[in-house]
Amino acid sequence: DTGVSQDPRHKITKRGQNVTFRCDPISEHNRLYWYRQTLGQGPEFLTYFQNEAQLEKSRLLSDRFSAERPKGSFSTLEIQRTEQGDSAMYLCASSSLGPNQPQHFGDGTRLSIL
Amino acid sequence: AQTVTQSQPEMSVQEAETVTLSCTYDTSESDYYLFWYKQPPSRQMILVIRQEAYKQQNATENRFSVNFQKAAKSFSLKISDSQLGDAAMYFCACYSGTYKYIFGTGTRLKVLA
């Protein structure tokens, strides 16, 4: 169990640029979640995958955000035409199937928009 | 809509003492699960304890225990014999059938030596 890994740890970019983050979940976990966390707040749900299927997407997620999980393994989160308000920590978590299975979180990717 | 409220932005406790962190939630689902997660500074969020709503018995994990009051929709976390390593942000979360975990805004716990 190598844990959930996220890359990069920190991304600094200019407003209007596109960014892509990667998450490698624990290998046997079917479920994968993306969250956004701003200072002083709890993680805010963005989207959820079960294997390769994206089953739910937050209404807070604008069309500039897209996520994929090809072959049910790693996942990517892309933000197009970044805005100042996108500055946040982006967390990935994975879990086994089952409602009471704990989520295992990665270290997160901190996005800073200049 | 599902909501989770943590009304204590910050709490302090003396080392070796006991502290209770509050959480209230609201959900229309009859089947749901509650969690407490710990997020140390600049470190990964980890699970502290979980509670199935259908279980009346309060969950315990070593020094951590919960007081689950289903009718009041309250789910507080008690930390006994507090240690310096307990200092962290603590998040309460609720999971129901929509696949979504809803988190509270967190409580920052300071442990005083």
> What type of residue is B97?
G
What distance lies between CA A58 and its chain's CA centroid?
12
pLDDT(A31) > 80: yes
Mean pLDDT of chain B: 93
- pLDDT value, residue B81: 97
Averaged pLDDT score across all residues of chain A = 92
Residue A100 clears pLDDT 80, i.e. is over it:
no
CA distance B107 to B36: 11
Beta carbons of B24 and B16 less than 8 angstroms apart:
no
Among B97, B100, B103, the residue with its CB nearest the CB of A42 is B103
Q: Where residue A1 falls among pLDDT bands split at 50, 70, 90?
A: low
CA closest to A4 among chain B residues: B44
* Residues of chain A positioned with their CB less than 8 A from the CB of B103: 35, 42-44
Asked if the Cβ–Cβ distance from B106 to A41 is below 8 Å, we say yes
Map residue A44 onto helix, strand or coil. strand
- Interface subset of A 3-62, CB within 8 angstroms of B: 3-4, 33, 35, 40-45, 48, 50, 55-56
Of residues B112, B49, B44, B39, the one with CA closest to residue B77: B49
Q: In sequence order, which residues have a C-beta less than 8 Å from that of residue B3 and are 6 or more positions away?
A: B25, B26, B27, B102
Average pLDDT of the segment spanning B49-64:
93
Question: Would you state the pLDDT for residue A62?
Answer: 81
Is the pLDDT at A71 greater than 90? The verdict is no
Which of A64-78, B11-25, B92-106 is least confident?
B92-106
Lowest model confidence (mean pLDDT) among A60-64, B2-6, B10-14:
A60-64
Q: Which residues of A touch B91 (CB under 8 A)?
A: 42-43
Buried-state track B88-98, b at ≥16 Cβ within 10 A, e below 16: bbbbbbbbbee
**CB–CB of B98 and A44 under 8 A?**
no
Interface check A111 vs B, CB under 8 A: no
Mean pLDDT in residue range B6-18: 97
Per-residue pLDDT at B83: 97
* pLDDT tens digit sequence for B67-80: 999 999 999 999 99
Residue A12's DSSP bridge partners are: A112
From the list B45, B26, B24, B30, the residue with the least C-alpha distance to B88 is: B45
Q: How confident is the model at residue A101 (pLDDT cuts 50, 70, 90)?
A: confident
Whether B70 and B5 have beta carbons less than 8 Å apart is answered as no
DSSP per-residue string spanning B14-51: ETTS-EEE--EEE-S-SS-EEEEEEE-TTS--EEEEEE
Look at residue A59 and tell me whether its pLDDT is greater than 90: no
Which phi and psi (to 5°) does residue B94 adopt? -125, 135
Residues of A in contact with B97 (CB under 8 A): 99
pLDDT for B28 equals: 86
